[in-house]
Amino acid sequence: MIFAWLGDRSQHVLAWLASHAPLGRQGARLTGDAILAIGVLLIAVTAARLLMALQVSRDRRQASAPLVTGNRSARALALAAARAADAGAYDAAVRSIFSAAVVLLDLRGVLSDEHGATINDLRRVLRAKNAAIERPFADLARAYSTAAYAE
């Protein structure tokens, strides 16, 4: 139905062009070919942009890092963050302190550090359980995102 409607509309456009600018048989054919070429080009550009967006999305998913790896001790992670900060490795310190916060909240039963959970998923759980700690967690999560994912 859509293609029939588009065909009908294109016939009306061509008829309007022919009545206002007499092109003759050859001119009408060239005009139709130009409209068809523009349509194909538009579809190709749209498809290319869609494929590029899908590739960027796939690359972002593959580049994501798990929130907490290995050590499940909040104290050990906090000590590692302090050592990293003393050494001037602030990005590693921020990642470690955020991991310590997630582990501590998980061990206390406030949230569950599930594989594949995003920072926003964790924030939603915190907001639902205890809105008072969601704001400081959001500040820490923002710093973590900057340290872990910013170029």
Q: What is the DSSP string of 37-73?
A: HHHHHHHHHHHHHHHHHHHHHHHHHHH---SS-S---
What pLDDT, on the 0 to 100 scale, is given for residue 67? 55
User: Tokens 């359980």 map to which residue?
Assistant: 129
**Rounded-to-integer distance, Cα 91 and Cα 65, Å:** 14
What pLDDT, on the 0 to 100 scale, is given for residue 69? 55
- pTM for the model stands at 0.52
Mean pLDDT by 10 residues, the chain (151 residues): 87 78 73 86 92 75 54 83 91 89 85 77 86 86 85 56
What pLDDT, on the 0 to 100 scale, is given for residue 65? 52
Query: Is 111 strand, coil or helix?
Result: coil
Q: In this structure, what are the phi and psi dihedrals at residue 15, rounded to the nearest 5 degrees?
A: -65, -40
